[in-house]
Amino acid sequence: MAAPVTAKYEQLVLEVETTTPGTYAKLCGIMGFSINREAQVDRVEVPADCDDESLPYSVEKQVRSTEYVVEGEAVWAQQSHETVLQWFRSGTTKNIRIQHVNAASGDVEYESGAALLTQLNHQRSKGQKVTASIRAEFDGTPTTTDKV
């Protein structure tokens, strides 16, 4: 039996497009983030047997839509201050990408696309650094790029 090949902390990367189109940079200070993929599913009850209506119905399901959300926490870093604050204040999308650095050749390495910054929270505690939490929602389905 072969051991699983796992990914380290630094092998899952969140990047935001800079002012130079096509150029991405990590958000400085991000200590953790998650990418949540969710399918909205329609459910319909259908007869299991047309000849015997006493039998329970069967539930058939179909995916109607999918949603992709990135949530993260960070130490508030001066290097990312303007990028994140202006992204939120603009109310417009910004291109982001998630890199799966440890992906095998031929597997998805990048999930990328336009995203809205829908939440930006700051917190301070006496004796601690200022922290932030963010929520970015992809506007549509991200594009995937396979690792070469």
pLDDT, one tens digit per residue, over 75-87 is 999 999 999 999 9
CA–CA separation, 145 and 111 (whole Å): 7
pLDDT computed for residue 101 by the predictor: 97
Kindly report the average pLDDT of the chain as a whole number: 96
What average pLDDT does the segment 113-139 reach? 97
Residue 29 DSSP one-character state? T
pLDDT for residue 89:
97
Q: In the chain, what are the domain boundaries?
A: 9-38+67-146
- Report whether CATH 4.10.410.40 matches the domain 9-38+67-146: yes
Q: How confident is the model at residue 8 (pLDDT cuts 50, 70, 90)?
A: very high
User: What mean pLDDT comes out for the span 111-139?
Assistant: 97
Backbone conformation region of residue 75, classed left if phi is above 0, alpha if psi is from -120 to 50, else beta: beta
Q: What is the mean pLDDT of residues 22-27?
A: 94
Q: Which H or E run contains 84?
A: helix 78-90
